[in-house]
Amino acid sequence: MPIDRLNRTLKDLRISVTDRCNFRCPYCMPVEMFGERYEFLPKSQVMTFEEITRLAGIFVRLGVTKLRLTGGEPLVRTDLVKLVGMLSGIRGVEDVAMTTNGYLLAQHAGTLKNAGLHRVTVSLDSLDDAIFRQLNGRGFGVNKVLEGVQAAATAGLGPIKINSVVMKGVNDHTVVDLARWCKESGYIARFIEYMDVGNLNHWESNQVVPVTEIIERIDTEMPLEPAEPNYHGEVAKRWHYKDGTGEIGVIASVTNPFCGDCTRARLSTDGKLFTCLFGSVGTDLLGPIRSGATDEEVADMLSGIWSLRTDRYSELRASLSKTRSGETRPKVEMFKIGG
């Protein structure tokens, strides 16, 4: 099991199965940048299911126990259920999960569960239909996502988590409504501080709603108390409702970074390894595989990369966000490596 220079092990692998998405959320794929003429990766550069499964198997032999499928939007990848079945069959995998915007989930939830998917996390930034239409950049209504969440619950893909990126002046006034709906429905709401992922979302620190403020708003309506983490390295800080009916999570990458416990690696759609969500350059793994590298050779590459890892972007954001010349430091776009 490789250990990096900050004594962090490798436990979680997030796999971007496609760089395409049916939404155009402003914090990930703003519509003004990703219009109809935007050229996504050609099929020849996208990892096949066999290549994904082979790489995942090598990661698992190095200590990874959790796999999460991301995108883009993973459900726009044709026959995704086949990949789920292949990954769930890897010996040593304890958890196969998926993060989705939920718009196509209703038609796939049952088959995904049957193929071996354990859990889903659905990105839902607001229950307010007008705000939701604005934030998905396509004018899609929220009801189809809610149908997808219900289908996932019926299929047993739980506990279901609902991720909401909170932006000041955009959807922060709907936080309590989303928390209440999740509480009443048996889902776990997770509120995420707006982050400077990628280069195209025009992020500014004054757009961030600190999680302390989010907690205060919810606590005023539905009293909360801190809860212990489920496991070492858990990203979200947990809070229980004092009446015993559920919990919420908050992810404070900006105001309370958690780099010191990060056990995540990320595979981009074209098979590049990133050891940080805010990384600039990944290491190509697909090229060596297609050139005939053995599993042992790839495993050695992975161990070497992880053992040299020193990523602490969120803890050092102010000093790392700019280059020495004062320009914005380039970072990989979120749709290429998932959230």
Amino acid in the structure at residue 11:
K
Per-residue confidence of the chain (339 residues) as pLDDT tens digits?
899 999 999 999 999 999 999 999 888 888 888 887 788 999 999 999 999 999 999 999 999 999 999 999 999 999 999 999 999 999 999 999 999 999 999 999 999 999 999 999 999 999 999 999 999 999 999 999 999 999 999 999 999 999 999 999 999 999 999 999 999 999 999 999 987 666 666 667 788 999 999 999 999 999 999 999 887 777 889 999 999 999 999 998 788 777 878 899 999 999 999 998 878 789 999 999 999 999 999 999 999 999 999 988 676 655 555 555 555 666 677 677 776
- Spatial distance between the Cα atoms of 339 and 249, rounded to a whole number of angstroms: 16
Q: What is the pLDDT of residue 328?
A: 62
Q: What is the pLDDT of residue 46?
A: 97
Q: What is the pLDDT of residue 319?
A: 55
- Spatial distance between the Cα atoms of 210 and 168, rounded to a whole number of angstroms: 9
Q: Sort 216 into a burial class: Cβ within 10 Å, 0-12 / 13-18 / 19+.
A: exposed
- Spatial distance between the Cα atoms of 335 and 28, rounded to a whole number of angstroms: 6
Q: Which helix (H) or strand (E) holds 317?
A: helix 317-320
Q: Domains of the chain (ranges plus CATH)?
A: 12-337 (3.20.20.70)
Cα of 179 vs its chain's centroid, Å? 20
How many Cβ atoms sit within 10 Å of the Cβ of residue 168? 15
* Closest to 47 measured CA to CA, from 24, 13, 22: 13
Residue 61, both tokens: 């032999």
- Helix, coil or strand: residue 247: strand
Q: What is the pLDDT of residue 331?
A: 63
> Facing residues of 208 across strands?
167
